[in-house]
Amino acid sequence: MPCDWSNGKECQFANLHHLKLIEYAGSTYCPYHLPLDAPQKAASPDHQAIIGERADLCGVQFPSRTYTFQNRNANSVTLMNDCHFAPGVVLQLFLGTYEIRRARFHGEVKFENRGRNKVLLTGSRFVGPLQIQALVQPSISRDWTAANWEIDSVDFEEVVDLSSATFGESLRLSDTTFAAPVEFEGCKLPQQTVAHDVRFVDRAIDQDSEGSYRYARLALAEHRNRDLEGVLYAAEKRSQRRGMKWWWPSLWVSTVYDVASRYGQDYVRALVVFLGIQVAAYVGYGAYFQRWDSSVVVFTFAQLVKPFELFSVRTATATSGMSDLFAFSAPGPALLFGSALHSILSLSMVAIFLLAVRWRFRRE
C-alpha cells in the first residue's frame, strides 16, 4: 500500500529502502508525510538525512528540530509546498531557491540565512512567532543575506522578529497581514522593497511598536520608497495613538487625519469624506429648515465658499440664497454652531486632500 499523503499522488519517498508505512486516522503514510499530531511521529527517523539530498520535500511534516538545507549551488531549487512545521523548527537556508507554498507553521519558527538565497513564501500561515536571521559569514565577517524574498498572501499571527535580518537585493510583500508587532529595528531593508496591500492590524498596532515602525519608515524614506513609507507612517502613528489618553486633543486630530486620508496617503478617501460631509450637512440643514429644495443646496454650498458668513448675518439679506430661508429671523445658535462645524470640517478635508495629493505626486 502506498503512502497516500495527497489523495493518491505518488509519494516522492516511495523508492527509499526500508521505508515503513504507518497507519494513522484511516490512511497510510510514510514517516515523512505522517501528520505531526500522529502519536508515532516522535519515533520517526531522522528527517535531516533526507533533507540534504532532496529537492522535492512537498507535503513533508517536519517535527521540531533544526534542518539544514545543504544546497551548495545557486541554481538548486527546494520545493516545500504543503508542508507542516511543528513549533520550534529551525530552517537553515543555504544557497538556492526555496519555494514554500500553502505551508502551515504551527508554532515558533526561525529561518537562518547561511547563504544568498531566494525564498518564495506564498499562501502560508504562521501561528507562532517568526524570526528571520542573517548569520555572519565567519571568513569575511559579512552577513549572509536573504537575497530575494517574496512573501505573498501570508498571515503572521504572532511577532515577526526581523531585527537581525539582512535582506540583500529585493523584498516583495503583497497581500500580507501582520496581526502582532513586527520588530524592524536592526533589520536591513533593500532598495527594492515593494509592498502591495500590507496590513498591520490588531496587536501589530501597539504603543511599544511605534519605534520599530519609525525605524523601518526612515530606512524606506532613504530609499525614496514613498508608498511603503506611508504605510509604515500610518502604523507608527496608530501605534502612537494607543499610548494617548482619550481627552488629549492630539489623539482627536490624529484620528481625524487617519480616518480622512490614512495619514496623508489616500487623497481619494479625503475626497469621499469631503462629499460625505456635504451630504450630511445638507440633511442637517434640511431638517433644520424643514425643507428640501434647491435653496438648501445653495445654502450648503454657500457655507463652503463663504465659511462663517452666517456670523455676520443679523437680518435677512439677499446674499447666498439666504433671504428666502431667513425671511423673518436671524440664524439661531444651533444653526450657527452647525454651519461653523460644517465649514471647519470641509476646509480641513480640502487641506488634507491637497496635502495627500502633494505627498503622493511630489517629485524629490
Contact residues toward Zn ion (CB under 5 A) are 3, 5, 11, 30, 33
Nearest approach in angstroms of CB 270 to Zn ion is: 55
Residue 47: what residue type? H
Nearest approach in angstroms of CB 51 to Zn ion is: 15
Rounded to an integer, what distance in angstroms lies between the CA atom of residue 177 and that of residue 21? Answer: 38
Rounded to an integer, what distance in angstroms lies between the CA atom of residue 118 and that of residue 99? Answer: 8
Please choose, from the candidates 58, 45, 36, 59, the residue with its C-alpha nearest in 3D space to the C-alpha of residue 16: 45
By beta-carbon proximity to Zn ion, the closer residue of 33 and 269 is: 33
Nearest approach in angstroms of CB 157 to Zn ion is: 28
Nearest approach in angstroms of CB 17 to Zn ion is: 14
Helix, strand, or coil (residue 126): strand
By beta-carbon proximity to Zn ion, the closer residue of 11 and 322 is: 11
By beta-carbon proximity to Zn ion, the closer residue of 56 and 197 is: 56
Nearest approach in angstroms of CB 18 to Zn ion is: 14
Q: What angle do CA 351, 356, 362 make, to 5 degrees?
A: 120
Cα–Cα distances in angstroms (integers) from residue 216 to residues 190, 212, 350, in the given order: 11, 7, 30
Cα–Cα distances in angstroms (integers) from residue 344 to residues 270, 280, 281, 308, 321, in the given order: 14, 14, 12, 9, 21
Nearest approach in angstroms of CB 82 to Zn ion is: 12
By beta-carbon proximity to Zn ion, the closer residue of 82 and 108 is: 82
By beta-carbon proximity to Zn ion, the closer residue of 32 and 285 is: 32
By beta-carbon proximity to Zn ion, the closer residue of 16 and 127 is: 16
By beta-carbon proximity to Zn ion, the closer residue of 23 and 222 is: 23
| Pairing mode of beta strands 27-29, 22-24 | antiparallel
Nearest approach in angstroms of CB 63 to Zn ion is: 15
What DSSP assignment string belongs to 215-250? Answer: HHHHHHHHTT-HHHHHHHHHHHHHHHHHTS-TT-HH
Q: Are 21 and 28 in contact (CB under 8 A)?
A: yes
Cα–Cα distances in angstroms (integers) from residue 241 to residues 113, 160, 207, 227, in the given order: 36, 22, 7, 21
